[in-house]
Amino acid sequence: MIEQLTVLAYLGAAVLFVVALKAMASPTTARKGNLVGAGGMLIAIVITLVALRRGGVASFPPVGAGGWWFIIIAAVIGSAVGAFLALTVRMTAMPQMVAMFNGFGGLASGLVVFAEIWRTPAGEVGAYLAVTVAVSTLIGWVTFTGSLIAFAKLQEFKISGRPIIYPLQTPANFALLALAVALIVLMGYFPGWRWLIVPLALLAAALGVMLTIRIGGADMPVVISLLNSYSGLAACATGFVLTNPGLIIAGALVGASGIILTRLMCHAMNRSLANVLFGGVGAATGGPAADRTVKGYTPVDAVMALGAASQVMIVPGYGMAVSQAQHAVKEIADILAERGVKVAYAIHPVAGRMPGHMNVLLAEADVPYDQLYDLEKSNSEFERTDVALVLGANDVINPAARETGSALSGMPILDVDKAATVIICKRSLSAGFAGVDNELFYADRTMMVFGDGKETMTAIVAALKGG
C-alpha cells in the first residue's frame, strides 16, 4: 500500500512538472509555472525521504539517525546557497548561473551513481547496474566540465569567449567518446570491475572540456540549452540506477525540453547542431578594415532623431546586459510613449547568452509583454519604423547573414537596416562573436554612438527630459 501511494505521489509530481513546463512557455504565466514546478519538486523530495526512511521505492536501505543528520545538513547548506544566489546574482550574470546549475546537476548525478556502485559489493554488481551507472557517469561528468567551460567563457575568466581550435581536434574528440563507450561496454561484460568507473569519469570530464572549448560565445544560447538537456538525461539515468520513478520522470522531462529548446535555437540561427558543436564559428577575429572609419554621433544627436520619430523599435543585445541598461532603456521608451511615439522591442531568439536572455532583463525593468515583438513580427514593422535604436546587438542585425560564404550565412536576422534611421550604441566597431564585420555600421542611414550602454542611455534620457 505504501509503495503504491509513493508511486502515485511521484506521478502527481510529474503532472505538476508538465504543467509547469507548459506555463513557463509564456512570459505572462512563467512565474506561476516556476511555483508549480517547485511544488512538484517538493512533493518528489518529501516522498523520496519517506522512501529512504522505509527502504521502499528508492534502492537505498533505510537511513539511520546519523544518515539523517547528513541529509538535514546538506539540505540546509544547499538551501542557503540557493537563496543567496537568487538574491545576489545580477540578471546580467544569469547565463553564468544557469551554466553552473547545469554543471551542478551533472556533478550530483556523477557522484550519486559513483557512491551507489561503490557501496554495492563487487560480486553483487550486475550488468544492468554497471551499465546504467556508466551511462550516468559519462553524461554527468561531460555536463559538469562542459558547464564549467561555458561559465568561464561567459564570465571571460582566463579563457576567451571565442572558439579554441587546434589540429585534429574533432578526431581526438571522437576518439575520447569511442574510448568512453568502450569502457561502458566493458563494464557491461565485466560488472565486477567497478574500478573502471574512475577512468570513465576522467575521460568524460576531458570530453566535456574538449567539446565546449571549441564553441564560441555566439553559440552560448545553444550550448546552455544543450547542457541543460544533458543534466536532465544524467538525472534520468541516475533514476534508473536508483529505481526512482520521480527522478526518471523529472530527468526525462528536462532532457526532452532541453533538446527541443536546442533545436529551436539552432533553427533560429539556421544552422545544424553539428555545425554549432564542430563548426568553430567565431574563431576568426574579424573586425573593421584598417582604412574604414565612421563618424561618431553624440547622445544629443540621437535624441534629435528620436524626437522626430513617430515609431521606434528598440533592439536590445548583449551590450544591454553587460551594461545593465535595461532600466534606462525602459525610461526612454516611457518618455517617447508619453509623446505619442509608438515604441516596441525587437527580440531576436538568440540575442544575449542564453535562451530568453533579453526577455528576462526587460521583464526585470517591468517592460509590458505586449511590447516585446518576436523576430517575425519585428521584421514586419521595420519598414514602417522611423528609428531603430540598437543597444549592443551585432550578429543578430548583421546583413552579412543574407550573403553566401559568410559565417552568418542563412541566419535569420532582425532587418534593422530597413528602418529610416538606425542608431547603434556600441563601445567600438569590433565584430561580434561570429567574427564578421558589420556593414550596417558604415551605412549612410546609421548613426554610431560610441560608449558604455548604460551611460549612453542615461545621457539620452537626460537629453529627452531636457528637451
pLDDT above 70 (res 150)? yes
Cα atoms in the Cβ-side hemisphere of radius 13 Å centred on 41: 12
Give residue 219's pLDDT.
76
Q: Which residue has the higher pLDDT, 63 or 461?
A: 461
Question: Which of 465, 123, 195, 442 has its CA nearest to residue 328?
Answer: 465
Concatenating the DSSP letter of every residue in 78-122 gives HHHHHHHHHHHS-GGGHHHHHHHHHHHHHHHHHHHHHHHHHHS-G
For residues 200-228, give the mean pLDDT: 87
- CA 437 to centroid of chain Cα atoms: 25
| Residue 67 and residue 323 in contact, taking contact as beta carbons nearer than 8 Å | no
| Residue 227 and residue 99 in contact, taking contact as beta carbons nearer than 8 Å | yes
pTM for the full model? 0.78
pLDDT above 50 (res 20)? yes
| Residue 89 and residue 169 in contact, taking contact as beta carbons nearer than 8 Å | no
Give residue 58's pLDDT.
45
Give residue 216's pLDDT.
73
DSSP annotation of 386 reads S
Burial of 65 (0-12, 13-18, 19+ CB in 10 A): exposed
151: confidence class by pLDDT, cuts 50, 70, 90:
confident
| Residue 422 and residue 388 in contact, taking contact as beta carbons nearer than 8 Å | yes
Q: How far apart are the first and last CA of the chain?
A: 74
| Residue 230 and residue 142 in contact, taking contact as beta carbons nearer than 8 Å | yes
pLDDT above 50 (res 45)? yes
Give residue 295's pLDDT.
81
What is the rounded CA–CA span in Å between residue 4 and residue 13? 14
* Class in CATH terms, 299-466: alpha beta
pLDDT above 80 (res 117)? yes
In sequence order, the 6+-apart residues with CB closer than 8 A to the CB of 440 are 397, 398, 399, 416, 417, 422, 424, 446
For residues 231-259, give the mean pLDDT: 89
| Residue 40 and residue 17 in contact, taking contact as beta carbons nearer than 8 Å | yes
What is the rounded CA–CA span in Å between residue 459 and residue 121? 69
Burial of 428 (0-12, 13-18, 19+ CB in 10 A): exposed
Q: Which grid coordinates belong to 286?
A: 574579424
Q: Which grid coordinates belong to 36?
A: 508549480
Give residue 114's pLDDT.
93
Give residue 36's pLDDT.
92
Give residue 273's pLDDT.
80
What is the rounded CA–CA span in Å between residue 206 and residue 180? 11
> In sequence order, which ranges of 162-244 are alpha helices (DSSP H)?
169-189, 197-213, 220-242
Collapsed DSSP state (helix, strand, coil) of residue 296: strand
- CA 254 to centroid of chain Cα atoms: 13
Give residue 281's pLDDT.
59
pLDDT above 60 (res 289)? no
What is the rounded CA–CA span in Å between residue 361 and residue 351? 12
pLDDT above 50 (res 220)? yes
521584421: which residue's cell?
379
DSSP tally for the chain: helices H, then strands E: 16, 6
The rounded mean pLDDT for the chain is 85
Most confident of 36-50, 51-65, 197-211: 197-211
Would you name the residues annotated as active-site residues? 395
In sequence order, the 6+-apart residues with CB closer than 8 A to the CB of 172 are 210
Give residue 196's pLDDT.
93
- pLDDT above 90 as % of the chain: 39
Q: Which residue has the higher pLDDT, 149 or 92?
A: 149
For residues 384-405, give the mean pLDDT: 88
pLDDT above 90 (res 158)? no
92: confidence class by pLDDT, cuts 50, 70, 90:
low
Query: What is the torsional sign of CA 148, 152, 157, 161?
Result: positive
Q: Which residue has the higher pLDDT, 177 or 219?
A: 177
What is the rounded CA–CA span in Å between residue 434 and residue 96? 20
pLDDT above 90 (res 145)? yes
For residues 292-308, give the mean pLDDT: 87
What is the rounded CA–CA span in Å between residue 197 and residue 212? 23
Concatenating the DSSP letter of every residue in 409-463 gives TT-----GGGSSEEEEEESSS---TT----GGGG-TTEEEEES-HHHHHHHHHHH
Minimum mean pLDDT range among 52-56, 140-144, 244-248 = 52-56
Q: Which grid coordinates belong to 412?
A: 535569420
| Residue 139 and residue 184 in contact, taking contact as beta carbons nearer than 8 Å | no
Q: Which residue has the higher pLDDT, 274 or 358?
A: 358
160: confidence class by pLDDT, cuts 50, 70, 90:
low
pLDDT above 80 (res 177)? yes
Q: Which grid coordinates belong to 59?
A: 534502492
Give residue 271's pLDDT.
74
518576436: which residue's cell?
374
Q: How many residues does the chain have?
A: 467
What is the rounded CA–CA span in Å between residue 225 and residue 199? 27
Domain ranges of the chain: 2-278, 299-466
pLDDT above 50 (res 57)? no
Q: Which grid coordinates belong to 294?
A: 565612421
| Other C-beta atoms lying within 10 Å of the C-beta of residue 458 | 18
Give residue 286's pLDDT.
52
For residues 61-65, give the mean pLDDT: 55
* Bridge partners, residue 422, by sequence: 388, 446
What is the rounded CA–CA span in Å between residue 170 and residue 6? 46
